[in-house]
């Protein structure tokens, strides 16, 4: 009878050690789920396995670029868990700076308004400046693009304001290319013609009439 009690006690102790991961020899038989439950990165009393914001920086793990590294006091405009700027301490912690601070798909280096997202506004040339900017857009701090297709021809003078010239030549700067091949036509443009632009002679060919002639 004594032997049986000792046997059951041994089984019970072994079970506890297996679940808690405690035991001799430096080994652990704890399951991944149990380990995750014990791990609590932000120390909020909720294990990482059920915590939706493991690092406690206000960015949900599902949207956090660094779910186990808190932002601390670093600014994160678009709330993706990646800081706008990342100094030496930030990098040492394991993070890198965001290259698109407002998260609108336009890199900061090309964005006219790097800290103001375009939202649903159209930006044909991808410069971070919307084609049109209503009152709400202006209140946010943006202004409308004056060259929607970014080809160097202002919309007010551009025959095709939403189709960029690319590398096509446009002598008179009206947004209509001198020559328009198949690709150009497929894009929606047509070639410039004398009827759509006045014929201009090079200044070197202009003959000036002098007195006496």
Query: Does the model's pTM come out above 0.85?
Result: no
Nearest-Å Rg of the Cα atoms of the chain is: 33
Per-residue pLDDT at 65 exceeds 70: yes
pLDDT band of residue 12 (cuts 50, 70, 90) is very low
pLDDT in tens, 82-92: 999 999 999 99
- Does 36 or 159 have the greater pLDDT score? 159
Q: Averaged over 92-115, what is the pLDDT? A: 98
What's the confidence (pLDDT) of residue 19?
43
Q: Can you tell me whether residue 8 is helix, strand or coil? A: helix
Mean pLDDT, rounded, for 179-184: 97
- For residue 114 the two structure tokens come to 């790097």
Ranges of each domain in the chain:
1-20+32-51, 106-145, 148-194
- Using the predicted structure, report yes or no on whether residue 54 has a pLDDT greater than 50: yes
**What pLDDT score does 194 carry?**
72
Residue identified by tokens 């100094």 is: 87
Quote the DSSP letter at residue 106.
S
Identify the pLDDT of residue 207: 53
- Given the structure tokens 């965001």, which residue do they identify? 98
Give the pLDDT confidence score for residue 38 in this predicted structure: 86
CA distance 57 to 63: 12
Does residue 175 surpass a pLDDT of 60? Answer: yes
What local confidence, expressed as pLDDT, does residue 151 receive? 98
Q: Is the pLDDT of residue 130 over 50?
A: yes
CA distance 121 to 129: 9
pLDDT for residue 70 is more than 90: yes
Give the whole-angstrom CA distance, residue 210 versus residue 85: 67
Q: What is the pLDDT of residue 122?
A: 98
Top-confidence residue, 180 or 5 = 180
Q: What is the mean pLDDT of the chain?
A: 85
- Summarize the confidence of residues 196-204 as an average pLDDT: 52
Q: Average pLDDT of 99-109?
A: 98
Whether residue 168 is predicted with pLDDT greater than 70 in this model: the reply is yes
């Amino acid at each position: 009878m004594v032997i049986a009690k000792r046997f059951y006690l041994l089984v019970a102790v072994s079970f506890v050690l297996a679940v808690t991961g405690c035991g001799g020899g430096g080994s652990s038989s704890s399951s991944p789920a149990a380990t995750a439950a014990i791990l609590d990165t932000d120390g909020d009393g909720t294990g990482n396995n059920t915590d939706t914001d493991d690092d406690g920086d206000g960015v949900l793990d599902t949207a956090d670029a660094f779910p186990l590294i808190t932002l601390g006091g670093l600014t994160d405009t678009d709330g993706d868990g990646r800081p706008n700027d990342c100094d030496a301490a930030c990098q040492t912690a394991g993070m890198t700076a965001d290259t698109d601070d407002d998260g609108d798909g336009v890199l900061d280096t090309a964005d006219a308004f790097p800290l103001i997202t375009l939202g649903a506004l159209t930006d044909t040339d991808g410069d971070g400046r919307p084609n049109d900017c209503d009152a709400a857009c202006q209140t946010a701090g943006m202004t409308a693009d004056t060259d929607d297709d970014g080809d160097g021809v202002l919309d007010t003078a551009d025959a095709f304001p939403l189709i960029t010239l690319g590398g096509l030549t446009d002598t008179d700067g009206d947004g209509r290319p001198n020559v328009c091949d198949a690709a150009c036509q497929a894009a929606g443009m047509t070639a410039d013609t004398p009827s759509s632009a006045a014929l201009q002679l090079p200044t070197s060919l202009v003959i000036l009439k002098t007195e006496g002639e």
